[in-house]
Amino acid sequence: MPPQPVVPWSDERDATVFGPTAPQLPYQGGIERLLATVEVPGDDILTLNVWTPADREGGQRHPVLVFVHGGGLTRGSAALPIYDGTTFARHGIVFVTLQYRVGQEGFAVLDDAPQNLGVLDQQAALRWVRREIGAFGGDAGRVTVMGQSAGANTLTALLALPHAAELFDQAILQSGPLQAQPAKRAGRMTREIAKRLGVAPTRAGFGGIEPARLAAEQTAVGAGGSPLGRGPAVALAIGGEAVPEDPLTMLLAGAGRGIPVLIGSTSEEYRLWLAPTGAVDRIRWSTVTLARMTSRVPQRIVRAHRTRRPEATAGEVLGEIIGDMLLRGPITRFADSRIDAPAPTFVYEFRWRSPVDRLGAAHAMELGFVFDRLETPDAVAPGGTQAPVALAEAMHRAWVSFVVDGDPGWDRWSARRPVQAFDADGGHIHFAPRPDELAGLPTR
């Protein structure tokens, strides 16, 4: 069911520890070495966490940053150490993390229940922030949302809504798909789970299954798949209150043009899923050819990738092309549609290459830098112990600047296509990077 307002209380409530996490299983296939899972028992998972600046005297109102975690819509929580908001609060920002339902509880496609309940959870949380953040020293009229991966995907859906400005004033979208799937396709995971459990894909059918069992069945169905594949997966479904239409289609048609956006990706997103498992080494050129023909990717795009990196393997080339189709291509189209928008768009690309497990500039690698928390286990696991501190300082400073002043410190998007490339040197502008790899790229 949709989220409900909390029942008010009059006695003291202990808010010194993180609330319960959404039911989920740890990552598998080698990725569990790189991405941690935190489990806090309990059922009351729709909670928020707030960090406030130490200096709150004089009635000053501080800008607010609300972070939505990623996890493929199946995992993740606000309790991960890397998401600690101390570094943002230190710069005069009220920092908020929120939790939402994931997996089948949040994104099942059932015959008689609302779709995308996890997105409705986020809407409820953001309305709470507008209503209550003043009690924590926050300025309810200066709210920036930030999401990474699935968190950015769900925030894209919110940005595309007609009432987006009621929820937030600015958006930071990190490595998140900008699209949703038709309900029939998005519901493949739900239908397969229902088949395995011998229940109907209805509220009653799924309501009688323990959350842990649903998470286990979901993991079993998704085994061997990835965000880069085409198998059953948990995804935003088009239809209903939360995602009435495909978000990217709505954005290209003009939705959200009055809201400033900072958006980008890493340069080697695919490596998180293909390198630790060794799958990148098992892909042959025949697979590239078949995938190219199936997805209608022009041969010249493959040649462009091979020309730039003649030493690249078949798996690396395929991974880069799929990453461009999922992220870099749609991001560029989105930014192009906003060149003459009243609100600016700023685009970045994270390029620092980790030496751990051949991850390079993989998906989620930027998180330790954005939060300036390279010392946390969550950042050390994928990035090692020698990640450049200067780069973390530069990225964190840019994000703080956008939240506080609406300007991260580089040129807004224009016909020149300026991209802030973050590498070990701390960052530099690169105009229209690798256009030959995007020209003619399929849009779906």
Q: Which of 192, 269, 320, 366 is catalytic?
A: 269
Residue 393 annotated as catalytic: no
Strand partners, 266: 350
Residue 111's CB: how many other CB atoms inside 10 A? 13
Beta strand spans in 152-268 (E):
170-174, 181-182, 237-238, 261-266
Measured distance CA(436)–CA(322) in Å, rounded:
15
The enclosing H or E element of 89 equals: helix 86-89
**DSSP code for 327:** I
Strand partners, 196: none
Give the tokens for residue 289.
Answer: 């050819």
Q: Which of 363, 366, 396, 437 is catalytic?
A: 363
CB 22 within 8 A of CB 103: yes
Q: Which of 77, 149, 175, 226 is catalytic?
A: 149
CB 301 within 8 A of CB 321: yes
Neighbouring residues of 366: CB distance < 8 A, sequence distance ≥ 6: 148, 174, 175, 266, 350, 395, 422
Rounding to the nearest 10 degrees, give the CA dihedral for residues 384, 388, 389, 391: -130
Give the tokens for residue 68.
Answer: 């939505």
Residue 363 annotated as catalytic: yes
Residue 269 annotated as catalytic: yes
Pick from 264, 265, 260: nearest CA to 407: 260
Neighbouring residues of 48: CB distance < 8 A, sequence distance ≥ 6: 78, 96, 97, 98, 99, 125, 128, 129
Neighbouring residues of 277: CB distance < 8 A, sequence distance ≥ 6: 29, 30, 31
Single-letter amino acid, residue 140: A
Residue 368 Cα to chain centre, angstroms: 14
Give the tokens for residue 75.
Answer: 């995992």
Measured distance CA(281)–CA(354) in Å, rounded:
18
Catalytic positions, please?
149, 269, 363
